[in-house]
């Protein structure tokens, strides 16, 4: 009874009896059944089974059902029922595990996302904080020699480069020479007023002031400088599109006028920070002057030598060379002395003005929509990457623990599920 | 269900109880009746109820031990039909739709019974053959059917008693038609064996007793 000996499969005989065959198939199978005794026997078996099954009859439903339906329909209770019929009801059992799994995954993703975003936020805050601190320091570094604790070398170089050299009265002190440099000791506390002759103090003040209007403040600043015969060594004005404007400048104010000038500056707005430092350069200046005097005397002697004595051409040339060398030294020392005296005569004021920020409509108009879209897209990509990374990190962190729990709880859960299925099936 | 109040939802008992009137409403198809019912025709529902009250009751009676429970569940099916009238769409045949609801209710009922059995310590009812009374061959048949695998049993019963086509069985049970045909074939084959087995079994017992008592 198989396909090799019979052109008709037993399954087809069953389908014939169930009326599930097409006309052609039906004809084929019927024709074969008439000839083949074996297949007819198969058909009889099926018929017999059906007959046997037909013996299982059930009585007609009781009138109670009709009445119950009638009553329910009449009272209208079905209208408020929570029943939701589905054609796919039998499939209900299949989606439940999926729904649970989806819920678990969702929760995991949500937790991972929260964790990662919290981490990102923390990081961002940290970075912002660092940037803020840098911002605070920036004005002090703009001009050398004025930072709260600058390195001596930096300060010296910057101070030497930036300041012009007006002629000032020289106060010469006889002292043995030394070399220039290394004159920036730790700043001593500034004396209450600059001493007239005995002490030479280079003053440095750093001011941060918050003002209402940068432009007005700047005009006022010019007035103050003119009044006290000061000048601005450098100016920087920042006007960002969507932030507060800021103004940085390095001012030079004659030392005697410093306190009066500072008072005027403080009135520009609210003083946020103020740092003052004074550096005593008396000794340094004395050294310089002494070396300068020595060098001048040496030059004088050499010139005398050249004028009074005669000798070989070679000797004359040697003396000439020595004179020019000494001359160079003298000029260099004179420059250093001028610089030092200028620093004493003019106090350095590093002023930073910050405007109170007022948000204005339409300030973002200059940034094109395309650019903003692109920026947002890039930010989105970065966020997506961050989230993905966060998820991976979360799985790495929690994954092993989860696995352990799955192993621990999986066994009992599987047993219960199998038991349920066995009973149910 | 909007507008439900406008119509008389009372069943016409006369129609239910009068065989000639039942024949009269047999002209339109189930799907037509369902569409009419969805539009608010109480007669259409009556017609559908008349057509299916016996099959649906039989469906549950053959699958549950308690006849009263069977009628209760049958009632639930028709109530579900009432509630879902507005949402009915002719995507599947009405019979598929109705038996899918019936099967769902049956499964929900079984699940509840198992759940209770698990927590109250009672023996979990496996398959519940109904009605202990009846002829001996009918009892044998019920036991044989009860021994079939869950899905196989469902397929054989849906085919033999509910007279669903292979296509309809496939839709109700959510399995491919080809699977229905091959599994149904196997199920019937094993049913044939199961029906033949008790005869052999009793013969074996007779032999054994003959050996014991020569």
Residue A309 lies in a domain: yes
Range of the domain at A18: 10-49
Q: Which chain B residues contact residue A53 at CB under 8 A?
A: 141, 145, 156, 160-161
- On whether both A151 and A260 belong to a single domain, the answer is yes
Of residues A396 and A150, which shows the higher confidence score? Answer: A396
Domain boundaries, chain B: 1-130, 132-214
Nearest CA in chain B to A53: B141
Residue A418 lies in a domain: no
A139, pLDDT greater than 70: no
Residue A176, both tokens: 């043995």
Give the single-character DSSP code of B39.
T
- Give pairs for A282-286: CB < 8 Å, separation 24+: A282/A198, A282/A199, A282/A200, A283/A183, A284/A183, A284/A340, A285/A171, A285/A173, A285/A200, A285/A337, A285/A340, A285/A341, A285/A344, A286/A173, A286/A175
Residue B12, both tokens: 């016409």
Fold of B132-214: Arc Repressor Mutant, subunit A (1.10.10)
Could you say which residues from 118 to 137 on chain B have a Cβ atom under 8 Å away from some Cβ of chain A?
Answer: 118, 124, 126, 130-131, 134-135, 137
Using alpha carbons, list the distances in angstroms from residue A260 to A8, A218, A267, A277: 119, 18, 11, 17
Express each pLDDT in B81-113 by its tens digit.
Answer: 888 776 766 677 888 888 988 999 998 988 888
Contact A330, A232 (CB under 8 A): no
Express each pLDDT in A189-241 by its tens digit.
Answer: 444 434 445 688 888 999 999 888 888 888 888 888 888 888 888 888 888 77
Supply the pLDDT for residue B19: 53
Residue A382 lies in a domain: no
- HSE of B175, CA atoms in CB hemisphere, 13 A: 14
Q: Which of A148, A134, A257 is nearest to A207 (CA)?
A: A148
CATH classification code of B1-130: 1.10.1740.10
Sequence-ordered list of residues with C-beta below 8 angstroms from that of B165, at least 6 positions apart, any chain: A18, A20
Count of structural domains, chain A: 2
CA separation for the pair A341, A201 (Å, rounded): 9
Q: Which chain A residues contact residue B142 at CB under 8 A?
A: 56
Mean per-residue pLDDT, A174-193? 39
A252, pLDDT greater than 80: yes
Residue B135, both tokens: 């002829």
Q: Which chain B residues contact residue A13 at CB under 8 A?
A: none
Three-state DSSP state, A186: coil
Residue A236 lies in a domain: yes
Last residue of a domain, one of A326, A355, A384: A355
Chain A interface includes B81 (CB < 8 A) = yes
A343, pLDDT greater than 60: yes
Q: Residue A56 and residue B11: Cβ atoms within 8 Å?
A: no
Residue A112 lies in a domain: no
Give the ipTM of the model, two decimals please.
Answer: 0.72
Chain A interface includes B66 (CB < 8 A) = no
Three-state DSSP state, B128: coil
Contact B38, B90 (CB under 8 A): no
Contact A207, A266 (CB under 8 A): yes
Residue A412 lies in a domain: no
Using alpha carbons, list the distances in angstroms from residue A309 to A294, A301, A306, A316, B34: 22, 12, 6, 9, 140
Q: With b meaning 16 or more CB within 10 Å and e meaning fewer, what string describes B181-206?
A: bebbbebbbbbbebbeeeeeeeeeee
Quickly tell me which residue has 């408020």 as its tokens: A80
CA separation for the pair A396, A391 (Å, rounded): 8
Residue A365 lies in a domain: no
Q: Which chain A residues contact residue B174 at CB under 8 A?
A: 88, 90-91
Question: How close B30 gets to chain A, by Cα (Å)?
Answer: 16
Residue A362 banded pLDDT, cuts 50, 70, 90: low
CB neighbourhood size of B18 (10 A): 13
Mean per-residue pLDDT, A231-252? 85
Supply the pLDDT for residue A180: 40
- On whether both A305 and A172 belong to a single domain, the answer is yes
CA separation for the pair A70, B166 (Å, rounded): 34
E strand or H helix that includes residue A270:
strand A270-280
A148, pLDDT greater than 50: no
Residue A243 Cα to chain centre, angstroms: 17
Express each pLDDT in A68-89 by its tens digit.
Answer: 787 777 665 444 433 333 444 4
- On whether both A157 and A40 belong to a single domain, the answer is no
DSSP of B52-80, one letter per residue? HHHHHHHHHHTT-S-HHHHHHHHHHHHHH
Q: Which chain A residues contact residue B110 at CB under 8 A?
A: 424
Nearest CA in chain B to A89: B104
CB neighbourhood size of A15 (10 A): 20
- On whether both A170 and A44 belong to a single domain, the answer is no
CA separation for the pair B94, A46 (Å, rounded): 28
Residue A48 Cα to chain centre, angstroms: 82
Of residues A290 and B39, which shows the higher confidence score? Answer: A290
Q: Residue B75 and residue A18: Cβ atoms within 8 Å?
A: no
CA separation for the pair B114, A416 (Å, rounded): 13
Phi, psi of B113 (to 5 degrees): -60, -45
CA separation for the pair B90, B29 (Å, rounded): 12
Residue in B13, B84, B138 closest to A66 by CB = B13
CA separation for the pair A178, A172 (Å, rounded): 15
Residue in B103, B138, B181 closest to A90 by CB = B103
Residue A67 lies in a domain: no
Supply the pLDDT for residue B27: 66
A382, pLDDT greater than 70: yes
CB neighbourhood size of A69 (10 A): 23
Of residues B18 and A225, which shows the higher confidence score? Answer: A225
Mean per-residue pLDDT, A360-366? 58
Three-state DSSP state, A255: helix
Q: Which chain A residues contact residue B1 at CB under 8 A?
A: 79
- On whether both A350 and A218 belong to a single domain, the answer is yes
Q: Is the pTM of this model over 0.90?
A: no
Burial class of A106 by CB neighbour count within 10 A (0 to 12, 13 to 18, 19+): exposed
Q: Give the percent of chain A with pLDDT over 70.
A: 72
């Amino acid at each position: 009874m198989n396909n090799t000996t019979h052109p008709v499969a037993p399954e087809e005989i069953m389908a014939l009896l169930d009326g599930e065959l097409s006309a052609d198939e039906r004809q084929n199978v019927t024709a074969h059944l008439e000839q083949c005794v074996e297949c007819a026997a198969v058909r009889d078996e099926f018929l017999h089974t059906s007959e046997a099954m037909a013996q299982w009859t059930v009585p007609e439903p009781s009138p109670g059902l009709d009445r119950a339906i009638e009553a329910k329909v009449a009272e209208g209770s079905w209208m408020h029922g929570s029943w939701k019929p589905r054609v796919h009801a039998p499939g209900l059992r299949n989606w439940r595990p999926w729904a649970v799994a989806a819920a678990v995954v969702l929760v995991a993703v949500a937790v991972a996302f929260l964790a990662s975003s919290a981490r990102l936020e923390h990081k961002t805050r940290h970075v912002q904080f660092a940037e803020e601190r840098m911002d605070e320091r920036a004005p002090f570094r703009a001009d050398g020699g004025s930072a709260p604790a600058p390195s001596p070398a930096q300060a010296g170089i910057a101070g030497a480069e930036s300041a012009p050299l007006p002629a000032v009265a020289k106060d010469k002190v006889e002292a043995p020479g030394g070399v220039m440099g290394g004159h920036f000791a730790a700043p001593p506390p500034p004396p209450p007023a600059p001493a007239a002759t005995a002490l030479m103090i280079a003053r440095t003040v750093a001011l941060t002031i918050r003002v209402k209007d940068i432009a007005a403040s700047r005009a006022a600043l010019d007035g103050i400088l003119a009044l006290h015969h000061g000048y601005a060594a450098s100016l920087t004005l920042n006007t960002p599109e969507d932030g507060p404007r800021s103004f940085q400048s390095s001012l030079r104010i004659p030392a005697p006028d410093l306190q009066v000038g500072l008072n005027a500056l403080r009135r520009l707005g609210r003083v946020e920070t103020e740092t003052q430092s004074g550096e005593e350069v008396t000794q340094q200046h004395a050294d310089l002057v002494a070396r300068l005097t020595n060098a001048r005397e040496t030059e004088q002697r050499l010139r005398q030598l050249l004028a009074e004595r005669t000798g070989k051409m070679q000797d004359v040339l040697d003396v000439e060379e020595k004179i020019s060398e000494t001359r160079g030294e003298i000029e260099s020392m004179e420059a250093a002395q001028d610089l030092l005296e200028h620093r004493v005569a003019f106090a350095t004021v590093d002023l930073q003005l910050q405007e109170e920020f007022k948000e204005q409509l339409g300030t973002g108009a200059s940034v094109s929509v395309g650019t903003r879209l692109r920026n947002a897209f890039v930010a989105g990509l970065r966020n997506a990457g961050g989230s993905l990374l966060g998820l991976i990190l979360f799985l790495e962190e929690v994954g092993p623990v989860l696995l352990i729990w799955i192993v621990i709880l999986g066994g009992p859960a599987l047993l219960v599920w199998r038991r349920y299925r066995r009973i149910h099936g | 269900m909007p507008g439900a109040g406008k119509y008389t939802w009372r069943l016409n008992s006369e129609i239910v109880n009068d065989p000639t009137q039942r024949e009269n409403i047999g002209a339109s198809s189930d799907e037509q009746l369902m569409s009419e019912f969805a539009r608010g025709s109480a007669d259409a529902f009556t017609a559908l109820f008349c057509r299916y009250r016996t099959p649906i009751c039989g469906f549950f009676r053959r699958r549950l031990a308690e006849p009263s429970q069977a009628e209760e569940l049958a009632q639930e099916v028709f109530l579900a039909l009432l509630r879902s009238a507005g949402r009915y769409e002719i995507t599947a045949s009405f019979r598929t739709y109705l038996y899918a609801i019936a099967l769902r209710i049956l499964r929900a009922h079984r699940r509840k019974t198992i759940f209770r059995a698990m927590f109250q310590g009672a023996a979990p009812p496996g398959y519940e053959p109904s009605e202990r009374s009846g002829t001996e061959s009918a009892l044998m048949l019920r036991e044989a059917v009860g021994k079939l695998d869950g899905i196989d049993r469902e397929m054989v019963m849906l085919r033999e008693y509910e007279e669903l086509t292979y296509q309809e069985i496939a839709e109700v049970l959510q399995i491919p038609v080809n699977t229905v045909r091959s599994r149904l074939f196997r199920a019937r084959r094993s049913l044939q064996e199961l029906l033949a087995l008790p005869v052999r079994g009793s013969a074996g017992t007779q032999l054994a007793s003959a050996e014991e008592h020569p």
